[in-house]
Chains A and B, each alone.
Chain A
């Protein structure tokens, strides 16, 4: 169950090896989380994380195979996890793929892979999750969107547009969940230092995965519908969203 401060006892992570996801889970285990299931493409690479979380106080940790893009299996795989474990108080959607904009602009298959991994796959999975959580009568979904989807830029529009799609989908889904006991929190980080961004030049106001985790816990406590990390991203993007196209296009980066 989720407690009055929004702390879950059981967590399902979609996008198993995500570093941000792992940081959030570690913080949740520091609170009330005792059952954690990671679902991703490489469960075999999760042994270290599983052991680490057990040491930190989780009593049940496991990693299972799940591919965001195998949309046809979502109902079976996710439904199976819920019936095996009884219930999940929180489902964290962390799967994502940054891609390489320079390649993707000219490679339709690669671009479609990015779009699908960031939007189609997770969104389809969330439809299944929403039904399962509705039936439970209580639960939360925490979705890692991105500031890149708030106003899509020339420099990463393949990734950005897929996050824009995901973000819009989540806003609508969140509205559909009002009154069901299930809530959906959208997380919009800026640049986060993880393997996804390794080797890239850090953007201004970059943060670590632990800062995202801290903001997520605060958001859960306050029942925030949207969390920006760092918080300054919110006013910055309020301004950026108002800039005329011609001007916005010329901002470097």
Chain B
């Protein structure tokens, strides 16, 4: 086993924010050298967890989280990509046991020839299984198949105190705290996943153009259930009557009978090559509202008005951007951010309002993705919940962006929706508890797994996800010894702000919780109290 430790600058896929940490890469010895595959790498890591740096430890996969979820400023980042063995593949029963650093591409390459696919894939194959579990990722099949976590049969978690075997039927609370837990319960070491059967590596796809937002939503509501995979690409720059114009693509795995004679020669062929490489340097302004609007226009016109039963390789259907290596560099050195929210069914007006604001803001956005989510997983911090989700990229730079997105955050929160933590890099921390009401229970489970608060990330500190960083202003090290365990069974606080948002009367009476800003003397006094208590220790 080799352990390599060096200080590195890291960011998420969006390029910002950046921070430096000690990155520890563990390369395990030859398989089976100690009789237990996978344990080598874990030994290297568990040393890090035993003597953790004060700033904390977090695991990192392929760095496809957009924001700061997989880095920990001043702490230790465990590079999980060194642990990438497929330990078991059972094509007959349809499951695989893999190390956490195995990528979905690697898994597909191994399973497709055996007639098995991955249960859920996001818009890129370049994510690790560990990261997929930590973010409880979703794909175009969420309305049918649910999130990634619902397909995990078992996992091995390296928590700071112990190594645990978890599953939906084995210590379920800890299992579901780890699914969607953003790496904050420990390090996922191995996982067993179910792998759905496929006859071919091709997709049969129906494409239709929708004239505007109402049109696309109506089509999705009417017939999404007929397809296993469904997604709409929305042009967020289109205004007026064509606001929300979209191209809806839906499909399923193609059956053998649908392939051409040529395709039938190797029906399970999988060719993951990168076809284009983004140039090394791109000026930051290249993608502006004019170039992007022109692109969106051309793309919309190019799409067929209505086409059914087109057979295409699954890579073109699921991962079109994986064909362009390093596409995130197209946004230049300032980077970009990805914004994704979900609002519940029944709150369509919030979705309409959000798309309206985006389109009239003129913020240059490439095609946004609209999708309907199905049933949620049992994970308290999991993002997908029944409703409409919209995801879009925005280049960083425009002055109006902060206000626009802050406004959307509030709109979404008020509608009972939430922001995707794996993509966030800028949300107002005050909104977190309102968006994820299960977070109080999650924090107690998390604390049981990691009582000293070793696991930490920049995301965790920025939003105080673990609740151990002294609230929204402190970003304190959780290890500095000033954290008091909340032993009560009642959730500590009602989500700040939401009472006053939902019930204006509460604020009028002066009886409401502090509003979003956490303003007011009351708040300051509490903190003052905290500090006194800390000093008196």
B17–A86 CB distance below 8 A: no
Partner of A181, one of B20, B284, B396, B520: B20
CA of A136 to CA of B18, assembled, Å:
12
Within 8 A of A (CB), among B55-95: 55, 67-68, 72-75
Q: How far is the CB of B54 from chain A (nearest CB, A)?
A: 10
B480–A57 CB distance below 8 A: no
CA of A196 to CA of B428, assembled, Å:
35
Is B304 engaged at the interface, CB distance under 8 Å to the other chain?
no
Point out the residues of chain A lying under 8 angstroms from B55, CB to CB. 136-137
B16–A59 CB distance below 8 A: no
Is A18 engaged at the interface, CB distance under 8 Å to the other chain?
no
Point out the residues of chain B lying under 8 angstroms from A86, CB to CB. 470, 474-477, 480
Q: How far is the CB of B362 from chain A (nearest CB, A)?
A: 17
Point out the residues of chain B lying under 8 angstroms from A35, CB to CB. 473-474
A 41-54 binary contact with B (CB < 8 Å = 1; else 0): 00000000000001
Q: Which of A185-193, A197-205, A216-224, A240-248 contacts B (4 or more CB under 8 A)?
A: A216-224
Residues of B within 8 A of A (CB): 9, 14, 16-21, 55, 67-68, 72-75, 284, 333-335, 337, 396-397, 399, 401-402, 425-426, 428-429, 458, 461-462, 470-477, 480, 517-521, 523-524, 527
A136–B74 CB distance below 8 A: yes
A32–B396 CB distance below 8 A: no
Point out the residues of chain A lying under 8 angstroms from B523, CB to CB. 59
CA of A139 to CA of B295, assembled, Å:
37
CA of A169 to CA of B523, assembled, Å:
40
Partner of A1, one of B75, B396, B462: B462
A-B contact count (CB 8 A): 127
Closest to A10 in B: B473
B461–A4 CB distance below 8 A: no
Residues of A within 8 A of B (CB): 1-7, 9-10, 31-35, 54-61, 85-87, 89, 135-138, 179-181, 218, 221-223
Point out the residues of chain A lying under 8 angstroms from B470, CB to CB. 86
Q: How far is the CB of B234 from chain A (nearest CB, A)?
A: 23
A60–B518 CB distance below 8 A: no
Partner of A9, one of B284, B472, B519: B472
Q: Which of B14, B73, B74, B521 has the most CB of A within 10 A?
A: B73
CA of A137 to CA of B519, assembled, Å:
29
CA of A31 to CA of B411, assembled, Å:
17
Assuming A4-B396, A4-B425, A9-B475, what are 16 further A-B pairs, CB within 8 angstroms? A1-B19, A1-B462, A4-B67, A4-B68, A5-B402, A7-B402, A31-B402, A34-B473, A35-B474, A57-B517, A59-B518, A87-B475, A138-B73, A181-B19, A221-B399, A221-B401
Point out the residues of chain B lying under 8 angstroms from A3, CB to CB. 17, 425-426, 462
A1–B17 CB distance below 8 A: yes
B20–A137 CB distance below 8 A: yes
B74–A135 CB distance below 8 A: yes
Point out the residues of chain B lying under 8 angstroms from A181, CB to CB. 9, 18-20, 73
Closest to A8 in B: B475
Closest to B22 in A: A137
